[in-house]
Amino acid sequence: MNKKQVLPYVPKKNSKKSQVRQMFDSISPRYDFINRIISGGLDIKWRKNLVKVLKPKKPKKILDVATGTGDLAIALGETLASEIIGIDISEQMLEIGKKKVERNQLQKNIKMEIGDGEKINYPNNYFDAVTVSFGVRNFENLDKGLLEIYRVLKPGSELVILETSIPQSFPLNYLYHLYTLYFLPLIGSFFSKDKSAYKYLSSSAKSFPFGKAFNKILKKNGFVVIDNIPQSFGVASIYHSQKPLLDV
Ligand SMILES: C[S@@+](CC[C@H](N)C(=O)[O-])C[C@H]1O[C@@H](n2cnc3c(N)ncnc32)[C@H](O)[C@@H]1O
């Protein structure tokens, strides 16, 4: 991708990864609350829909990349009762996640660790499934992250990604534009001290590839695209893909 990188803070001050880590550390105490507000609670439903996509294959060992405060890991743990490893670069997000896992008494199923999705600390062909919700658009290098996920997936296993997308039909596309331009930064600045964080979240959502463009990126990195399931009129999308059985 030759597009200009969207960064949380001052450009070139330090790498996107360290800016993203700093930003999520800073917003972590309010992350879940603001997430519910900006999505109108729909993010919970979207994560449940992602879990449904994985259910038929009954994966035992799942890696949840960019697990953050653990909402997806917990939804996976509650429904699939598998062995789940959640990794994230933000220690503060993970601290909140670990407490939630304990509150839900899922510590036997879910392990949360500091880890980079672009340099995964697990062997080749190790996981039965990999999930990422609202994480890939924060990667410093998307291709690097997808290739790492490919490496740790067993052949024939699935990658399911939930990410923001942009509604295409009128008037939703127009309303969405107003929503990201005004509502999202306003809510962010009202509930969080870190104003630039919420500007970054809306500008990165607007510039991130979605639909066919994102499927193309998955294919370029070796995945077989199974389905692309828009959520709530295309405000978010679930991308269901697979590492081919024969890894050539
Ligand atoms: C928007 S939050 C999503 C958290 C959670 N998955 C959810 O659904 O609420 C994005 C997360 O991605 C993490 N992140 C960004 N780049 C990462 C990377 N290279 N490896 C691991 N985590 C990363 C951030 O620290 C942050 O916790």
- Residue 185 scores a pLDDT above 80: no
Q: d(Cα 190, Cα 65) in Å, to the nearest integer?
A: 29
Give me the pLDDT at residue 209, please.
Answer: 95
CB 128 near ligand 1, within 6 Å? no
CB 127 near ligand 1, within 6 Å? no
Task: Give the lowest-confidence range in 31-35, 57-61, 210-214.
Answer: 31-35
pLDDT digits (tens, 9 = 90+) for 21-30: 999 999 999 9
Q: Where are the domains of the chain?
A: 16-166+208-242
Give the residue, out of 5, 20, 30, with the most ligand 1 atoms within 8 A of its beta carbon, to mutate for a pocket test: 20
- Residue 190 scores a pLDDT above 90: no
Please identify, by atom number, the ligand 1 atom nearest to the C-alpha of residue 90.
Answer: 25
Query: Among 184, 36, 43, which residue's Cα sits nearest to residue 176?
Result: 184
Give me the pLDDT at residue 174, please.
Answer: 87
Give me the pLDDT at residue 4, please.
Answer: 67
How would you class 66 by CB atoms within 10 Å of its CB: exposed for 0-12, middle for 13-18, buried for 19 or more?
A: buried
CB 117 near ligand 1, within 6 Å? yes
Please identify, by atom number, the ligand 1 atom nearest to the C-alpha of residue 115.
Answer: 21
Residues 32-44 have a mean pLDDT of 91
**Largest alpha-carbon pair distance within the chain?**
51
- Residue 91 scores a pLDDT above 80: yes
Cα end-to-end distance, the chain, whole Å: 24
pLDDT digits (tens, 9 = 90+) for 63-90: 999 999 999 999 999 988 679 999 999 9
Residues 78-105 have a mean pLDDT of 94
What are the structure tokens assigned to 171, written together?
A: 């008037």
Task: Give the lowest-confidence range in 69-83, 108-122, 149-163, 208-222.
Answer: 69-83
Give me the pLDDT at residue 1, please.
Answer: 42
CB 27 near ligand 1, within 6 Å? no
Give me the pLDDT at residue 81, please.
Answer: 66
**Residue 16: which pLDDT band, with cuts at 50, 70 and 90?**
very high
**Domain 16-166+208-242: which CATH number of 1.10.1740.110, 3.40.50.150, 3.20.20.70, 1.25.60.10:** 3.40.50.150
- How much is the mean pLDDT over the chain? 91
On the CB side of 193, CA atoms within 13 Å amount to 4
Tell me the backbone φ, ψ of residue 124, rounded to 5 degrees.
-60, 150
Residue with CA at minimum distance from ligand 1 atom 3:
134
In which region does residue 81 sit, left (phi positive, over 0), alpha (psi from -120 to 50) or beta (all else)? left
Strand 61-65 relative to strand 127-133: parallel, antiparallel, unpaired?
parallel
- Residue 129 scores a pLDDT above 70: yes
CB 96 near ligand 1, within 6 Å? no
Give me the pLDDT at residue 3, please.
Answer: 60
CB 236 near ligand 1, within 6 Å? no
Whether the link from the prior residue into 11 is cis, omega within 30° of 0, is no
Distance 171 CA to ligand 1 centre (A): 31
- Residue 18 scores a pLDDT above 70: yes
**What is the distance, to the nearest Å, from the Cα of residue 180 to the centroid of all Cα atoms in its chain?**
18
CB 94 near ligand 1, within 6 Å? no
Give the residue, out of 90, 198, 237, with the most ligand 1 atoms within 8 A of its beta carbon, to mutate for a pocket test: 90
Q: d(Cα 16, Cα 161) in Å, to the nearest integer?
A: 21
Distance 168 CA to ligand 1 centre (A): 26
**41 three-class SS:** coil
In single-letter form, the type of residue at position 172 comes to: L
Cβ within 8 Å of residue 26, ≥6 positions away: 92, 193, 194, 197
**Residue 118: which pLDDT band, with cuts at 50, 70 and 90?**
very high
